[in-house]
C-alpha cells in the first residue's frame, strides 16, 4: 500500500462513530446504544427487531413485511390473543446478541410484526393504559380479601385491551387459582400472572441510587446475579446493612462489579494473622489498602498504637527475614526511624492579651474625642473675650487660663463629691440609738473632773 500518496479524509458527524441514530428517539428503560447504526447494510443483514413495551418488558420479532423500521417507531406486533403495541428499540446485528442475553431457546418465542401503529390502534392503546392504575388498586383489595400473602406491584394491559398481565411479589409459593377467577369476572379480560423479585420491581419502577445515577436495573442490567456479604468482606467494606442495601432493600448489585479486582489484588498481600518481628517489637496488621498495596501495622493487636504504614513488598521481605531468624531494626526500608509527629501550637508567637489592645485603643480614641469636644465648646467663649484673636501670645495665655479653669472646676467638683460622701457617712454614724445617750453622758462625766483639776492647777 502506498502510504505516501494516501489521501486523508476529515471525518465529521456519523463518520466518527458518534451517530445520533444510535441513540434514537425513545425514552424507554434499558436503552441500548446501537453503535452499528451508521454501518451500511446493517438493517438488511437480519430481519430481527427488538420491541419494548411498558417499563422493562421487551420482545423480539421478525420483520416479515420488510418495513423500513427505525429506532423509536411505534409498531403493532403479534400477541396471544390479538395484537400489542410497542416501540422499536434496536435493529440489525446487535439484536442477535440481545437474543443470546435473553436466553430465547425456541424459535416459537419470536413472533412477527404486523404494521406501523395506526391512529385507531393508538386510541385503543391509550384507553387500555388509562385503566391500569384502577385495576391494580382493585386487584390488591381482592387479594387481601382472599387472604393471599402476596403484593401486586404493577398491572400492564395489552395494546388491544384483551389481556392484562399482573406482576406480583411473594416470598413463598402462592395458590392464586381462585384469584384468577375473581379477576377475570371483575375486569372481563384474560389474566396472566407473573412473579418478579424485588430487583425486577425496582427496575420496573425506576429511580436514583445513592451514587446519584439512575438505577442499573432500570438502564442496562437485565440478568441479575446473586450478591452475598462475602463480596463486601473481600472489598474491606463495613457490614452496615443500611449502606449495603439498595433501593430494592437487597444487597447492591454494584458490589459484584469490582470483586474480581479486589480478589486478585488481595492475593499479593500477606495474611492477616502474620506478625512482623523487629528489634523495636512485634507488629500486628490493623488496616490494609488492597488496591494501593499498603499495609498499616500496630504494636498492639487491639489498640492502634505506634502505627506504621509499609508496602506489601516490604512486608514480604520482613517475613522472609523472620523465617531466617533475622529481625530488622524497624519496619521502614533501610531501617529508617519513623519521624514522630510533634504537636503543632496554633497560638505560637501570639500574645494572650492581643485582644485587649483593641480595647485600650478604643478608650484612647474616646478620650481624644472628648478633649476635642471640650475645646470646641470653649472656642465661642474665647471669641466673646476682650483680647484680640490675632495675637498669638494672648491666645496662648487664654488657652492656659481655660485649662486652669477647667482643672479648678474638676477639682472643686471632686471636693464637693467627697464632702457629700463624708457628710452622708457622718449622718449615718450620728443616727441616735437607744443606748447612745448614756454613753455620751459618761464620756462628758469623765472629762469634767480632768478639766476642774487643770483649772485648780492654773
Helix (H), strand (E), coil (C) string for the chain: CCCCCCCCCCCCHHHHCCCHHHCCCCCCCCCCCCCCCCCCCCHHHCCEEEEECCCCCEEEEECCCCCCCCCCCEEEEECCCCEEEEEEEEECCHHHHHHHHHCCCCHHHCEEEEEECCHHHHHHHHHHHCCHHHHHHHHHHHHHHCCCCCEEEEEEECCCCCEEEEEEECCCCCCCHHHHHHHHHHHCCEEEEEECCHHHHHHHHCCECCCCCECHHHHCCCCCCCCCCHHHHHCCCCCCHHHHECCCCCECHHHHCCHHHHHHHHCCCCCCCCCEECCCCEEEEEEEECCCCEEEEECCCCCCCCCEEEEHHHHHHHHHHHHCCCCCCCCCHHHCCCCCCCCCCCCCCCCCCCCHHHHHHHHHHHHHHHHHHHHHHHHHHHHHCCCCCCCHHHHHHHHHHHHHHHHHHHHHHHHHHHHHHHHHHHHHHHCCCCCHHHHHHHHHHHHHHHHHHHHHHC
Residues 6+ apart with CB under 8 A from 436: none
pLDDT bucket at 101, cuts 50 / 70 / 90: confident
Task: Check residue 252 and give its pLDDT.
Answer: 93
Least confident of 43-52, 60-69, 77-86, 97-106: 97-106
CA distance 193 to 201: 14
Q: Which residue has the cell 474616646?
A: 366
pLDDT for residue 121 is more than 60:
yes
Of 179, 156, 132, the C-alpha closest to 56 is 156
Predicted pLDDT of residue 84: 93
- pLDDT of 9 strictly over 70: no
pLDDT at 402 over 60: no
CB 89 within 8 A of CB 23: no
Confidence of residue 372 (pLDDT cuts 50, 70, 90): confident
212-258: per-residue pLDDT in tens?
A: 988 988 888 877 888 999 999 889 888 898 889 998 889 999 999 99
Q: Which is more confidently placed, 407 or 352? A: 352
Mean of pLDDT values over 375-386: 56
What does the alpha-carbon distance between residue 33 and residue 22 come to, in Å, rounded to a whole number? 5
User: Taking a C-beta distance cutoff of 8 angstroms, is the pair 315, 299 a contact?
Assistant: no
Residue with more model confidence, 184 or 345? 184
| In the predicted structure, residue 51 carries a pLDDT above the cut 80 | yes
Is 117 within 8 Å of 193 (Cβ atoms)?
Answer: no
pLDDT confidence of residue 406: 53
The pLDDT, as a whole number, for residue 434 is: 47
pLDDT at 55: 81
Residue 325 φ/ψ region, left for φ over 0, alpha for ψ in the -120 to 50 degree band, beta for the rest: left
Q: What is the pLDDT of residue 304?
A: 82
Residues 6+ apart with CB under 8 A from 255: 227, 231, 232, 235, 237, 244
pLDDT at 388 over 60: no
Of 448 and 362, the one with more pLDDT: 362
List of long-range contacts for 315-318, beta carbons under 8 Å, 24+ apart: 315/269, 315/270, 315/276, 316/270, 318/276, 318/277, 318/278
Residue 353 has a pLDDT of 73
| Portion of the chain with pLDDT greater than 70, in percent | 70
Q: Which pLDDT score is estimated for 458?
A: 35
- Who has greater pLDDT, 21 or 321? 321
Task: Summarize pLDDT for 122-132 with one digit per residue, the tens.
Answer: 999 999 999 99
Task: Convert the pLDDT of each residue in 250-306 to its tens digit.
Answer: 999 999 999 999 999 999 999 888 999 998 889 999 989 999 999 999 988 888 888
pLDDT at 76 (0 to 100): 94
How large a percentage of the chain has pLDDT more than 90? 32
What contacts 214, CB < 8 A, 6 or more positions away? 206, 207, 208
Is 445 a residue whose pLDDT tops 60?
Answer: no
- Is residue 164 within 8 A of residue 156, CB to CB? The reply is yes
Sign of CA dihedral 79, 84, 86, 91: positive
Give residue-wise pLDDT tens across range 130-143: 999 999 999 999 99
**pLDDT value, residue 377:** 66
Q: What's the pLDDT tens digit per position in 326-360? A: 988 888 876 565 555 666 677 666 777 766 666 65
For residues 370 and 449, which has the higher predicted lDDT (pLDDT)?
370
Share the mean pLDDT of the chain.
Answer: 78
pLDDT at 20: 53
Give 390 or 203, the one with higher predicted confidence.
203
Longest dimension (CA), the chain: 161
The cell for 322 is 523472620
Taking residues 187-200, what's their average pLDDT?
91
Amino acid at each position: 500500500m502506498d502510504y505516501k500518496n494516501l489521501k486523508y479524509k476529515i471525518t465529521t458527524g456519523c463518520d466518527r462513530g458518534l451517530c445520533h441514530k444510535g441513540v434514537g428517539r425513545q425514552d424507554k428503560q434499558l436503552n441500548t446504544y446501537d453503535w452499528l447504526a451508521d454501518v451500511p447494510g446493517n438493517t438488511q443483514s437480519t430481519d430481527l427487531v427488538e420491541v419494548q413495551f411498558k417499563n422493562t418488558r421487551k420482545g423480539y420479532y421478525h420483520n416479515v413485511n420488510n418495513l423500513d423500521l427505525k429506532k423509536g417507531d411505534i409498531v403493532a406486533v403479534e400477541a396471544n390473543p390479538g395484537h400489542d403495541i410497542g416501540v422499536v428499540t434496536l435493529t440489525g446485528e446487535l439484536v442477535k446478541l440481545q437474543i443470546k442475553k435473553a436466553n430465547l431457546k425456541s424459535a416459537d418465542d419470536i413472533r412477527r410484526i404486523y404494521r406501523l401503529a395506526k391512529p385507531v390502534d393508538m386510541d385503543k392503546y391509550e384507553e387500555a393504559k388509562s385503566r391500569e392504575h384502577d385495576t391494580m388498586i382493585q386487584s390488591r383489595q381482592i387479594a387481601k380479601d382472599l387472604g393471599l400473602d402476596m403484593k401486586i406491584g404493577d398491572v400492564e394491559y395489552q395494546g388491544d385491551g384483551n389481556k392484562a398481565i399482573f406482576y406480583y411479589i411473594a416470598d413463598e409459593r402462592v395458590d392464586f387459582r381462585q384469584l384468577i377467577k375473581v379477576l377475570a369476572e371483575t375486569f372481563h379480560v384474560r389474566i396472566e400472572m407473573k412473579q418478579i423479585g424485588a430487583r425486577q420491581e425496582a427496575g420496573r419502577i425506576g429511580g436514583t441510587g445513592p451514587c446519584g445515577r439512575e438505577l442499573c436495573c432500570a438502564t442496562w442490567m437485565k440478568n441479575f446475579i446473586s450478591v452475598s456479604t462475602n463480596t463486601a468482606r473481600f472489598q474491606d467494606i463495613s457490614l452496615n446493612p443500611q449502606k449495603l442495601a439498595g433501593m430494592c432493600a437487597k444487597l447492591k448489585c454494584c458490589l459484584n462489579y469490582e470483586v474480581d479486582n479486589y480478589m486478585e489484588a488481595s492475593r499479593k498481600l500477606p495474611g492477616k494473622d502474620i506478625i512482623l518481628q523487629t528489634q523495636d517489637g512485634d507488629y500486628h496488621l490493623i488496616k490494609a489498602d488492597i488496591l494501593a498495596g499498603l499495609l498499616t501495622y500496630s504494636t498492639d493487636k487491639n489498640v492502634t498504637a505506634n502505627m506504621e504504614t509499609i508496602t506489601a513488598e516490604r512486608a514480604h521481605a520482613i517475613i522472609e527475614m523472620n523465617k531466617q531468624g533475622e529481625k530488622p531494626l524497624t519496619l521502614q526500608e533501610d531501617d529508617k526511624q519513623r519521624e514522630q509527629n510533634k504537636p503543632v501550637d496554633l497560638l505560637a508567637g501570639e500574645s494572650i492579651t492581643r485582644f485587649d489592645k483593641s480595647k485600650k485603643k478604643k478608650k484612647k480614641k474616646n478620650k481624644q474625642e472628648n478633649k476635642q469636644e471640650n475645646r470646641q465648646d470653649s472656642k465661642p467663649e474665647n471669641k466673646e473675650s476682650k483680647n484680640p484673636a490675632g495675637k498669638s501670645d494672648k491666645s496662648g495665655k487664654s488657652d492656659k487660663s481655660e485649662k486652669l479653669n477647667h482643672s479648678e472646676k474638676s477639682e472643686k467638683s471632686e471636693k464637693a463629691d467627697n464632702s457629700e460622701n463624708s457628710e452622708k457617712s457622718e449622718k449615718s454614724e450620728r443616727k441616735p440609738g437607744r443606748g447612745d445617750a448614756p454613753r455620751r453622758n459618761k464620756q462628758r462625766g469623765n472629762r469634767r473632773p480632768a478639766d476642774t483639776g487643770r483649772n485648780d492647777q492654773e
